[in-house]
A and B are shown apart, each in its own frame.
Chain A
Amino acid sequence: MPELKLLLKHKARTLDEYRRIGGYAAFQKALAMDRQAVIDEIKKSGLRGRGGAGFPTWIKWNGIPKQKTKRHYVLCNADEGEPGTFKDKELMESTPHQVIEGMMIAGWATQADVGYIYIRAEFMDCARAVKSAIDEAYAEGLLGKNIQGTGWDFDLHVHLGAGSYECGEESAMMSSLMGERGMPRLKAPHAPLPTIAGLWDSPTLINNVETFACAPHIIQNGGDWYAAMGASTKNSRGTKIFSVSGHVNKPGNYEIEFGTKLSDLLELAGGIKGGALKACIPGGSSVPILNAESVAKAVIGYEEIGEVGSMVGSGGCIFFNEHTCIVALMWRTAKFYMRESCGKCTPCREGTDWLFQIHDRIIKGGGRPEDINLLKQICAQIDGRSFCGLGDAAAWPIVAALKVFPHEYEYFIQHGKSIVDTPQSKLMFPYAEPVPV
Chain B
Amino acid sequence: METIHLENSRGRPKAPNPEQVELKFSDQAVQELEALLTHYPDKKSAILPTLWIAQREYGGYLPPEAIAEVAVRLQRSYAEIEGVATFYTMYHVGHPVGRHLIEVCTCLTCQVCGAYRIAERLKAKLGIDFGETTEDGVFTLEEVECLDACDRAPVLQVSDAYIGPVDEAEIDALIEKLRSDPGSGTIRLADEIVKAQLHANEQRDIR
Contact = CB atoms under 8 A, between A and B. Distances in A.
A135 to B, nearest CB: 4
B146 A83 contact: yes
B193 interface: yes
Contact of A336 (B145, B161, B201): B145
Interface string A144-187: 00000000000101111111110000000000111111110000
Given A122-B157, A162-B90, A83 B193 contact: no
Given A161-B48, A251-B153, A84 B88 contact: no
Interface residues of A, number: 69
A181 B150 CA distance: 27
Interface stretch (A42-50, A302-310, A423-431): A423-431
Nearest to A269: B151
A163 B116 CA distance: 21
Contacts of B147: 122
Given A161-B48, A179-B47, A430-B116, A86 B87 contact: no
Contact of B112 (A139, A157, A177, A246): A246
B196 A127 contact: yes
Given A83-B109, A138-B199, A253-B151, A160 B52 contact: yes
A165 B201 contact: no
B200 A161 contact: no
Contact of B145 (A158, A244, A339): A339
A80 B147 CA distance: 9
A1 interface: no
A324 B112 contact: yes
Interface string B68-93: 00000000000000011001111100
Given A128-B196, A134-B199, 6 more contacts: A120-B148, A124-B196, A162-B90, A182-B88, A336-B145, A427-B117
17 contacts: A83-B107, A122-B148, A124-B193, A124-B196, A131-B197, A138-B199, A158-B197, A159-B197, A161-B88, A178-B44, A181-B83, A182-B87, A245-B153, A251-B153, A329-B111, A342-B87, A427-B113
Interface of A: 71, 80-86, 88-89, 120-125, 127-128, 130-131, 134-135, 138-139, 155, 157-165, 176-183, 200, 243-247, 251-253, 281, 285, 316, 318, 320, 324, 328-329, 332-333, 336, 339-340, 342, 427-430
Give 8 nearest A-B pairs by CB, closest first: A163-B89, A179-B47, A163-B90, A162-B88, A83-B146, A245-B150, A127-B196, A181-B87
